[in-house]
Chain A
């Protein structure tokens, strides 16, 4: 049951977006975020939307998957929209009831914000949909590697992340076993008030933590046995190689950014 949980929402594929160098993908996503926030009018937003949907089409991932990533954030979107709608007091009043009123500016701002956030979620989801967590970790490690000069533990962080990713399925399986073992002895895990369920959770977490520490200890010994001594002098099996397409993708994104900035100034 718990095994079905997917962590990271990677959709394996072989589209051009999948094949882009993950380092470039991260940088492109950052530029994309700047692009969304630098345009102040609907035309800029339309350009951003065109970019987003173009990329989604190229990735060949069904659009409804993106709806899935927006859905959990709907309450947040509604709250943002309502607050913007009611708190903006400038502009022509469209509707009024006691102290509540909706102005044209308010309507505009809230619509604008909602579209912007939806685009933001869709664009960043595209990154995690087309890049496996382990590749992503790798790319982050390399992008941050200049920080090593200022003693920032880049390698250690990446190693921790990749070990965490490695052990997620193992620990989920273990949780499943512990829950079954406790159910077999009459524990009621899924029923009862919130307080009892929270209390029952402790009886699952304690053995899980103890076992996680034991695993950590054994893993550390096994890593030492294989000559692990930190990031110094390490070579890598996974080579990240940038191809012309990566530079083209980056150039296109930068062009879009410039376009949005220019349009924002002109219109």
Chain B
């Protein structure tokens, strides 16, 4: 598979607020490749730089040092800015602060209007995107009538309408209730599965990360772990050392192993765990 995102030696420092102060370095040398169609979770503690990293993927921020390439476009290339943002869409945490229009379908059309897509095609793409996230029945509603999860799905539809190759979601479920979280996650997984869109999911929920193809753990501006969820979550001590929790299942398996049970450390799904424990009892 081809790499859609290539990050090489990325350093980034925020300009200091006052003169004479040292710039605050948030990203300290990140190398990361993400393949087309992958579903990657980026985990990390608050302030580890994961949101800053996300903002580099569609040129909201530009590297102080190093390069970020998305689908062959260097994010520093100002001429291709809109092309880049069309290919790498971004969904933010607060659904209220990313919906522009008072009517759902017009909000979904916002990006297409900006890109100057002709009416017929816009109409078609808006309807398709709304159906894809299951919000077609609500197309004439006002966003204020929707629940958090529904609003977030509208925001996702607004991105899908651009037909991106990659969607970056910056803690999209952090402000939602459990039902809303479920809806949004199911939608993202379906986009990944059915349309082959690369997903970069920034989160601090371990359970969300457990369902991904690959987990990247960041700490203090660096990538510390990068592997399939099973391998990442089996390193319980390392995760705990940087202040992260592990999914409940992993925690249980880890405690069992500490107590001397013979159980694989790479179990992350509930079903596997139940099966393994049943086997333990049977033995």
Write the residues of chain A forming the contact surface with B, with a CB cutoff of 8 angstroms: 133-134, 162-163, 165-166, 169-170, 173, 214-215, 218-219, 221-229, 233-239
Distance between Cα atoms of A166 and B100 in the complex (Å): 7
Using known A-B contacts A163-B100, A215-B96, determine if residue A237 contacts B113 with beta carbons closer than 8 Å.
yes
Contact indicator A218/B92 (Cβ below 8 Å):
yes
Distance between Cα atoms of A226 and B142 in the complex (Å): 20
Can you list 24 residue pairs at the A/B interface with Cβ under 8 Å? A162-B101, A166-B100, A166-B101, A166-B102, A169-B142, A169-B144, A218-B92, A218-B94, A218-B97, A219-B98, A221-B92, A223-B110, A224-B85, A225-B58, A226-B158, A227-B111, A235-B112, A235-B113, A236-B119, A237-B105, A237-B112, A237-B119, A237-B123, A238-B106
Contact indicator B122/A225 (Cβ below 8 Å):
no
Main secondary structure of the interface of B (DSSP, over half): helix
- Within the complex, which residue of B90, B102, B109, B110 is in contact with A134, where a contact is CB–CB below 8 Å? B102
Distance between Cα atoms of A223 and B82 in the complex (Å): 12
Q: Is B126 an interface residue (CB 8 A)?
A: yes
With a cutoff of 8 Å between Cβ atoms, the chain A residues found around residue B117 in the complex are 235
Known: A169-B144, A235-B117. 12 other contacts (CB 8 A): A134-B102, A162-B100, A166-B102, A166-B143, A173-B144, A225-B60, A227-B115, A227-B162, A229-B82, A235-B112, A235-B113, A237-B122
Q: Is B116 an interface residue (CB 8 A)?
A: yes
Distance between Cα atoms of A228 and B122 in the complex (Å): 16
Using known A-B contacts A166-B99, A222-B97, determine if residue A229 contacts B114 with beta carbons closer than 8 Å.
yes
B70-91 interface mask toward A, CB cutoff 8 Å, 1 = contact, 0 = none? 0000000000001001100110
B148-170 interface mask toward A, CB cutoff 8 Å, 1 = contact, 0 = none? 00000000001100100000000
> Min CB distance, B50 to chain A, in Å?
16
Distance between Cα atoms of A100 and B126 in the complex (Å): 69
Contact indicator B100/A223 (Cβ below 8 Å):
yes
With a cutoff of 8 Å between Cβ atoms, the chain B residues found around residue A162 in the complex are 100-102
Contact indicator A134/B60 (Cβ below 8 Å):
no
- Within the complex, which residue of A163, A215, A226 is in contact with B114, where a contact is CB–CB below 8 Å? A226
Contact indicator B110/A228 (Cβ below 8 Å):
yes
Contact indicator A226/B60 (Cβ below 8 Å):
no
Contact indicator B82/A227 (Cβ below 8 Å):
yes
Contact-residue bracket for chain B: 35 or more
Distance between Cα atoms of A29 and B99 in the complex (Å): 32
> Min CB distance, A135 to chain B, in Å?
10
> Min CB distance, A210 to chain B, in Å?
14
With a cutoff of 8 Å between Cβ atoms, the chain B residues found around residue A165 in the complex are 102
Distance between Cα atoms of A134 and B100 in the complex (Å): 12
Contact indicator A239/B96 (Cβ below 8 Å):
no
Give 4 nearest A-B pairs by CB, closest first.
Answer: A222-B98, A169-B144, A237-B109, A226-B111
With a cutoff of 8 Å between Cβ atoms, the chain A residues found around residue B119 in the complex are 235-237, 239
Q: Which residue in chain A gives the minimum CB-CB distance to B108?
A: A237
With a cutoff of 8 Å between Cβ atoms, the chain A residues found around residue B94 in the complex are 215, 218
Q: Is B20 an interface residue (CB 8 A)?
A: no
- Within the complex, which residue of B85, B101, B112, B116 is in contact with A225, where a contact is CB–CB below 8 Å? B85
With a cutoff of 8 Å between Cβ atoms, the chain B residues found around residue A237 in the complex are 105-106, 109, 112-113, 119, 122-123, 126
Distance between Cα atoms of A237 and B103 in the complex (Å): 11
With a cutoff of 8 Å between Cβ atoms, the chain B residues found around residue A215 in the complex are 94, 96-97
Q: Which residue in chain A gives the minimum CB-CB distance to B161?
A: A226
With a cutoff of 8 Å between Cβ atoms, the chain A residues found around residue B97 in the complex are 214-215, 218-219, 222
Contact indicator A234/B98 (Cβ below 8 Å):
no
Q: Which residue in chain B gives the minimum CB-CB distance to A238?
A: B106
Q: Is B260 an interface residue (CB 8 A)?
A: no
Contact indicator A234/B106 (Cβ below 8 Å):
no
In this complex, the member of B85, B90, B97 whose beta carbon has the largest number of chain A beta carbons within 10 angstroms is B97
Distance between Cα atoms of A40 and B126 in the complex (Å): 53
With a cutoff of 8 Å between Cβ atoms, the chain A residues found around residue B92 in the complex are 218, 221-222
Contact indicator B86/A227 (Cβ below 8 Å):
yes
With a cutoff of 8 Å between Cβ atoms, the chain B residues found around residue A225 in the complex are 58, 60, 85, 89-90
Distance between Cα atoms of A225 and B91 in the complex (Å): 9
Distance between Cα atoms of A179 and B117 in the complex (Å): 44
With a cutoff of 8 Å between Cβ atoms, the chain B residues found around residue A134 in the complex are 101-103, 106
Using known A-B contacts A170-B96, A235-B122, A237-B119, determine if residue A227 contacts B114 with beta carbons closer than 8 Å.
yes
